[in-house]
Structure 1
Amino acid sequence: MKIVIAGAGDMGYHLAEQLSFDNKDIVLIDTDKDVLDNVASHLDVLTIVGDSTSLEVLKNANVQDAAMLMAVTTSEKTNIVTAALAKQLGAKRVIARVRTHDYLLPDHEVYFNQIGIDNIISPTMLCSSEIKRMLKNSSFTDVFEFEEGKLNVVGITLDQYSTLVNKKISDMSTNPIFEDIRIIAIVRGQMTIIPRGNTIIRNNDHVFFISNKKAVESILDLLGQKKVTVTNVMIIGGDDMAYATALKLEKEYRVTLIHKDKERCKWLSERLDNTLVINGDYKNIELLIEEGLEEMQAFISVTESSETNIITSLTAKNHGVYKAIAHVDTREYIHISHSIGVDSLINKKLVAANQITRFLRKGNVEAVSGIHGVDAEFIQYVITKNNRVTRKSLKDLHFPDTAIVAGVIRGDEVFIPDGDFMLQIDDKTIVLALPTAKTALEKLFH
């Protein structure tokens, strides 16, 4: 399968990296030769230096043979023109990255369809939705819902006082609570572990649990933590990300937004109906305290500086804020999010890249969810009649060691399967997989 990516920034690089594990034929276009040389030194991709809005460049990339073109440069206009031209040249499916919020309105998307663009995505809007989802389950750093919450995956970092630390997973099975929950992944440092029975939980491990809807609070009981309800939220920053986030949150939370630019604050206050907009220097901690920092349950830092976002979030934690979320532009920071003290680090480009990759999965895939800072993703397969996975128990399927069947949804029933479990036709199967397992999984579930 041939894939053409226009734009070799963080988002384009992440897409190319994800797809290279799937043995896709990838062509990467960018105007910056140095950036492309860096990508080529790390990934097995073909690079072309040039403007993706050029017909000659697109033809050189053989876009007419592409199953998909993704236009993900930092220029909205470039992306729209690139995608429209690629479709005219014969690309089967085209996706364009946009910044303008109005483009995403249902009534407006039809205009893009009419010029041949199949899908448009906004990293900012996707990221603000992700932040809202994080606040709904503020006790956890990561939350994933499948089939409207029938199955839930949550992540949390364990400290030395946790009752699970230094225990072997097989020894926990005697606890009745593990009938409805299971540990399906562990992040230790920068290593992602798919646990087995002999895996031992260590101090500072970031652990992912899967559970049915009723058992989510049982995880907090198991860990000795109380559920905290978020009502007051402070946002610092004033760009599109801050605006989109405040817009999504202000109907459900009491939101205070602080930004340093006076004119931008005026613009924000005219468009946000239920958000208190304050003009001030968000690096001034005394100002943040004066504006109610210590009464906040959540602090969201989305300024243009990754370092400012991390430092202010850590400061908020030191002042008693329960949940701190920081946006970072540098993808390398994501991998340290579980160890530096900030509850959640988020990168809008990676969120968007994970959204795009779901269009490319084979094997009756219904959904794909990436995990921030983790080299793994959830893939939801639908079992069909022509599938051999219904003929054997899970333990006899020669499942790759770097993947695990985390849960199964069968009609209104949910299962957290063991090795003896057998899949049935129409089951929705949620698999957690490291990149190296993707090819084997596509063969297994195709």
Structure 2
Amino acid sequence: MRIVIAGAGEMGFHLAKLLTAEEQDIVIIDSNSTVLEYVSQHLDVNTVRGSSTSPRVLKEANIGKADLLIAVTSIQETNITTCILGKSLGAKKTIARISNVELLHSREELNLSNVGIDEIISPASLAAREIKRLLKQSALTDTFEFEKGVLSLVGITIDEDSELFGKTLTETAYLNPDHSFTTVAILRDDKTIIPYGENKFQNGDHAYFIAQPDGIDRVTALAGKESFEIKNLMILGASKVGINTAKLLSKKYNIKLIEADKEKCLHLVDELPDTMIINGDGRDINLLKEESIDRMDAFVALTENSETNIMASLLAKNQGVRKTIALVENVDYIHLSQSIGIDTLINKKLIAASFIFRYIRKGEVLNIAGIHGVDAEILEFELGEKSKIMQKPLKDMDFPKTAIVGGVIRKGKGIAVQGNFEFETKDRVVVLSKPECIRKVESFFK
């Protein structure tokens, strides 16, 4: 598949990284030669210097033979123009990154495909949906449901109070007698580990499991965590993500939104009628106390400044808020949540890049999900009559070591998978795989 990416920022770079791991033919366009040099040094891609709104530059990228054009520069108008030009020059499919969420709500009315834009994505809207998902399971750092929850991916932090701490996977088998969960990944010191029998849980690990419904409660208990109901939510920052999050969640939670810009607060009163708008500095501990930070169940910091979000979340944590989420612009910060005490750090560019990756692959797999900071993807396959993985028990298959089968959905029921498991037609199989072996993993399910 030939893919042209316009924009070599963090979002474009991360997307290219995911796609090059699958040996896709990638061309990246950017006007910044320094950025392109960095891309060339780290990824096996072709680069073209110039503006993606230039027909000459698009032709230099051989746009006429592109199966897909993805415009993800930081400027909405550039992305829209790039897709319109690219489509007219022969690109089969186009995706544009937008900043105005109003376009999302009007997409059918506008019929953007008529002008050459097949799909639009809003990082702010996607980040808001991600926050909604993260707040659903209060004790967990991450969660994703398959088939309405008969199997779920759950993430949780391991500390010295956990029964799992200091034990290998083999040694913890007695804690999981009915096999209601499977450990599929461990994130440790910026490194993703696909764990097997002798891997040991350490203090500060972010551990990820595929679990049946009762397995979620067991994992939570073993990690020494306690689920709690979230009713009161404080949001810091009326950024695009902050406003979208308040709109999405105001019917479910009691929300207070703190914003430093007084004029913006006045506009938000009408835009967010179900949200209490407070003008002030969210880093001011006295203001937080005045606004009853000690009564908040969750605190979400969504200003445009990463350091402000991190500091405010730490203040909230120090005041007893049990669930904290902070938006960060710098991708390198993502892994800090392991060590500094914030429950989850998110980056809207990574969320959007992973969404595009899933969009590209959705014809080949039933479901695909990313995990914050983890160098792996969760995939869901349905087995056909000739699927290779049905030929032998799992332990006798040459399944990649950088991937792991987390569970199976059979006739609407979630099932844990052991080495002697035998697959059947119509089974839906959930797999965690590092990007570089996704193609090999897929070969077992064709």
Q: TM-score, normalised by structure 2?
A: 0.97
- How far apart, in 2, do the equivalents of 1:355 and 1:383 lie? 24
SS at match of 1:51: coil
| Alignment check: 8 A CA contact 1:363 1:381 kept | no
Partner Cα separation in structure 2 for residue 418 and residue 246 of structure 1: 43
Looking at structure 2, the residues matched to 81 and 404 of structure 1 have their Cα atoms a distance apart, in angstroms, of: 42
- TM-superposed CA distance for 1:319, in Å, is 0.6
- Cα deviation 1:140-160 (Å, max 9, x = unaligned): 111111122121111111111
Q: CA deviation at 1:434?
A: 1.3
1:385 Cα offset (Å): 2.6
Structure 2 counterpart of 1:256, one-letter code: K
Partners in 2 of 1:346 and 1:175 — Cα distance? Answer: 31
CA distance in 2, matches of 1:417, 1:227: 26
> Which residue pairs with 1:188 in the alignment?
188
SS in 2 for 1:336: helix
Which residue identity is paired with 1:91? A
Would the aligned equivalents of 1:337 and 1:373 in 2 still touch at CA under 8 Å?
no
Deviation at 1:177, TM superposition (A): 4.8
Map 1:7-406 to 2 at 5 A: 7-105=7-105, 108=108, 111-361=111-361, 364-406=364-406
Q: Is the 8 A contact 1:336 1:373 kept in 2?
A: no
Shift of 1:24: 1.2
8 Å contact kept, 2:182–2:407: no
Q: What secondary structure sits across from 2:359 in the alignment?
A: coil
Q: How many corresponding residue pairs?
A: 446
Q: Which residue type is aligned with residue 67 of structure 2?
A: A
Alpha-carbon shift at residue 382 of structure 1 (Å): 2.0
SS of the residue aligned with 2:337?
coil
Aligned-CA RMSD value: 1.6
User: What's the CA shift for 1:328?
Assistant: 0.3
Report the alpha carbon displacement of residue 362 of structure 1 after superposing the two structures with TM. Answer: 8.0
The CA deviation string for residues 49-78 of structure 1, in whole angstroms up to 9 with x for no partner, is: 111111111111111111111111111111
Runs of 4+ in 1 over 6 A off after TM superposition: none
Matched residue SS, 1:335: helix
Contact 2:388 2:443 in 1 (8 A): no
In the aligned structure 1, how far is the partner of 2:233 from the partner of 2:360? 37
The C-alpha deviation readout for 1:168-227, integer Å capped at 9, x for no partner, is 211222235552112111111111111111221112211112211233222222233321
- Write out per-residue CA displacement over residues 253-293 of structure 1, whole angstroms, 9 at most, x where no aligned residue: 00000011011011111110210001111221111111111
Please give the per-residue CA displacement for 1:73-104, whole angstroms capped at 9, x wherever unaligned: 11111111111222222222211111111211
Q: Please state whether the residue corresponding to 1:34 is helix, strand or coil.
A: helix
SS at match of 1:174: helix
For structure 1, the residue ranges without an aligned partner over 5 or more in a row are none
Q: Which amino acid aligns with 2:283?
A: K
Distance 1:174 1:17 in 2: 39
Question: Quick check: 1:363–1:445 contact (8 Å CA) kept in 2?
Answer: no
- The answer on whether the counterparts of 1:10 and 1:331 sit within 8 Å (CA) in structure 2 is yes
Q: Which deviates more from structure 2 when the two are superposed, residues 150-159 or residues 98-107?
A: 98-107
Deviation at 1:108, TM superposition (A): 3.1
| SS in structure 2 of the partner of residue 168 of structure 1 | coil
Distance of 2:254 and 2:44 partners within structure 1 = 48
Deviations 1:22-44 (A, max 9, x none): 11111000111111111111111
Distance 1:2 1:208, change over 3 A: same
| SS of residue matched to 1:234 | strand
Taking a change above 3 Å as real, the CA distance of residues 384 and 133 of structure 1, as seen in their structure-2 partners, is: same
- TM-score, normalised to structure 1's length? 0.97
| Gap runs ≥5 in structure 2 | none
